[in-house]
Amino acid sequence: MKNLQSALLASAIFLAFSSSAIAAPISKAEYKSGKDSVSRQYSADKLACGSKRDNAKDICIEEAKGRENIAKAELEASYEPSVKHNYEVRVAKADAVYHVAREKCDDMAGNAKDVCRKEAEAAHVTAKADAKVAEKTSDANAMAREKTNEANASAQEKTSNVRKDAALDKRDAAYEVAKEKCDAMSGDPKAACIKAAKSRLEL
């Protein structure tokens, strides 16, 4: 059983690091070039399996398919980054490891083979469940950030409006004071006083 677990772990590591996603979005030309590169690599990997025999050949082919599917998923994620494509990359890796693990179980017989397949299935279910959790977590975090940004914008707008209202209230109050002072005058001096107050307060 330890040998099986080691084999599964080796497959997971091998497939998980067989290709890496590009962090920044790539151009359409790079995307097309990437697809061609993935296709060529798969053909080369499949050709290399020709020298193997029996189940070793089957395992080799499954590994080649797994690398191809992972590379395709990562290419899509690089071309159009999204939570959905990141999820598909995780699923592609989980599927690849699962198919290789099941193929390796064919080297066994009887109950050992049955147990091997059940363990492979359990690991597959776990990996896909983890992928779903990661997807939902990313969605939730994105939504929380969006709501936070909206809340901040709303708060800033409200604060700005309150400040404007306060400024108007202060200006009106200052004008009332200035006008009251002008009331001590009469005629042209009073008119000039009020005009100066309005100009000073930008009324």
Question: What is 148-189 written as a DSSP string?
Answer: HHHHHHHHHHHHHHHHHHHHHHHHHHHHHHHHHHHTTS-HHH
- In the predicted structure, residue 49 carries a pLDDT above the cut 90: yes
pLDDT single digits (tens) 89-99:
999 999 999 99
Q: Is the pLDDT of residue 1 over 60?
A: no
Report residue 87's pLDDT band, with 50, 70 and 90 as the boundaries.
Answer: very high
Provide the token pair at 134: 């990661």
pTM: 0.60
- Sign of torsion over alpha carbons 126, 130, 131, 135: positive
Q: How far apart are CA 86 and CA 21, in angstroms?
A: 9
Question: Residues 100-128: pLDDT tens digits?
Answer: 999 999 999 999 999 999 999 999 999 88
Comparing 42 with 4, which gets the higher pLDDT?
42
Query: What is the DSSP annotation of 10-41?
Result: HHHHHHHTSS---SSPPPHHHHHHHHHHHHHH
Separation CA 193–CA 188 (nearest Å): 8
Alpha helices, DSSP H only, in 19-109?
28-48, 54-79, 83-105
> 18 pLDDT exceeds 80?
no
* Nearest CA among 106, 47, 118, 37 for reference residue 74: 37
CB 100 within 8 Å of CB 18: no
Residue count of the chain, please give it: 203
> Are the beta carbons of 65 and 97 closer than 8 angstroms?
no
Give the pLDDT band of residue 23 (cuts 50, 70, 90): low
Mean pLDDT of the chain: 84
CA angle 40, 104, 108 (to 5 degrees): 155
For 142-177, how does the pLDDT look when each residue is reduced to its tens digit (9 = 90+)? 788 878 877 777 778 887 787 788 788 788 888 888
What the block records as the tokens of 178 is 């200035």
Domain residues of the chain, as ranges? 2-149, 159-200
> What's the number of CA atoms in the CB half-sphere (13 Å) around residue 135?
17
